[in-house]
Amino acid sequence: MKKKFVSLSRMFRLYNFAIFLLAVLTFGVFIYLSVFISSQVITKSIEDSSRLIHARIETTLSQTASIAQYLASSDSLQKYLTCEDEYELISRSKQLRSLTEPFTRTNPDLCSIIIYRASHRVPFFSDYHFPDNAPFYSIAPYYEDQASSSQGFSIIYSRYENLPSYAVYSCPALYTASGERFGEFLGNIVIVLEPAILDDTIHLVSPKGIISSISVTDKNGDIIAATKLSDDKSQNDFFSLSTARTSPIEGTDWFVTCHSNGSWIARQYMNFFLVFFLFVLLIMIILFLYHYSLRRYFKQPVISLRNEICSLTFCKNERLPAYHTREINEIAETINSLLSEYYQASERQRQLELANYEVQISKKISDLQFLISQISPHFLLNTLSCIGGIATLYQSDEILDIVSDLSDMFRYSLYEPDMVTLRDEYRNIQKYFDIIRIRFQNSYLLETTIPEKLFDCPMPKMILQPLIENSLYHGLEPKCSGRILLSARTAENILYLTISDNGVGMSPRQTSSMQNLLSNSAKLEYSTLLEKKIGNVNICRRIKLMYGEEYGMNIESIPDEGTTVEVYFPVLAS
Find the DSSP H helices in 258-325.
262-294, 300-310
- What residue ranges in 118-250 does DSSP mark as E strands? 125-126, 153-156, 166-174, 185-193, 211-217, 223-226, 244-248
Rounded Cα–Cα distance for residues 185 and 268 (Å): 57
Could you give phi then psi for residue 380, rounded to 5 degrees? -70, -40
Instruction: Judge contact between 539 and 467, C-beta under 8 A.
Output: yes
Per-position pLDDT tens, the chain of length 574? 455 656 667 777 777 777 778 778 877 887 777 777 777 887 888 888 888 888 888 888 888 888 888 888 888 888 888 887 777 878 888 888 888 888 878 888 787 788 877 766 556 666 555 544 444 444 555 444 443 445 567 666 555 556 666 677 777 777 776 667 777 778 778 887 777 777 777 777 776 777 878 888 877 777 777 776 544 444 444 345 567 788 888 777 788 888 887 787 778 778 877 887 888 788 878 878 877 877 777 777 777 777 777 777 766 667 777 777 777 777 878 887 887 888 888 888 888 888 777 777 766 666 555 444 444 555 565 566 666 666 666 666 777 777 777 777 777 877 778 889 999 999 988 888 888 888 788 888 899 999 999 999 999 888 898 899 888 888 888 888 889 999 999 998 999 999 999 989 899 898 888 888 887 765 655 445 544 446 788 888 888 888 888 899 999 999 988 999 999 999 876 5
The CA distance from 424 to 456, in Å, is 9
Residue 540 and residue 484 in contact, taking contact as beta carbons nearer than 8 Å: no
Q: Which helix (H) or strand (E) holds 495?
A: strand 494-501
Up-side HSE of residue 33: CA atoms within 13 Å toward CB?
12
The CA dihedral of 199, 200, 204, 206, to the nearest 10 degrees, is 0
Separation of alpha carbons 43 and 493, rounded Å? 98
Amino acid present at 144: E
Q: Can you list the pairs that 28-33 forms with residues at least 24 positions away whose Cβ atoms lie under 8 Å? A: 30/276, 30/277, 30/279, 30/280, 33/276
**What pLDDT does residue 231 have?**
45
Q: Is 451 helix (H, G, I), strand (E, B) or coil?
A: coil
Contact 264, 235 (CB under 8 A): no
Vertex 215: Cα angle to 213 and 220 (nearest 5): 155
Q: Which residues contact 443 (CB under 8 A, 6 or more apart)?
A: 480, 481
Confidence (pLDDT) at 521 = 66
Q: Are 341 and 334 in contact (CB under 8 A)?
A: no
**Paired strand residues for 169:** 153, 191
Strands (E), 15-106: none
- CA nearest neighbour of 554 among 525, 528, 516: 516
Residue from 544, 569, 566 nearest 553 by CA: 566
Residue 494's pLDDT is 92
- Helix/strand/coil for 553: strand
Long-range contact set of residues 486-491: C-beta below 8 Å, sequence gap at least 24: 486/426, 486/429, 486/446, 486/447, 486/448, 486/449, 486/450, 487/448, 487/449, 487/450, 488/422, 488/449, 488/450, 488/451, 488/454, 489/451, 489/454, 490/454, 490/457, 490/571
Give the per-residue pLDDT at 501. Answer: 92
Instruction: Give me the pLDDT at residue 554, please.
Output: 92
Q: How many angstroms separate the Cα of 275 from the Cα of each of 139, 226, 267, 270, 288?
A: 54, 36, 12, 9, 20
pTM over 0.85: no
Residues 518 and 536: beta-carbon distance below 8 Å: yes
**What region, left, alpha or beta, does residue 560 occupy, with left being phi > 0 and alpha being psi -120 to 50 degrees?**
left
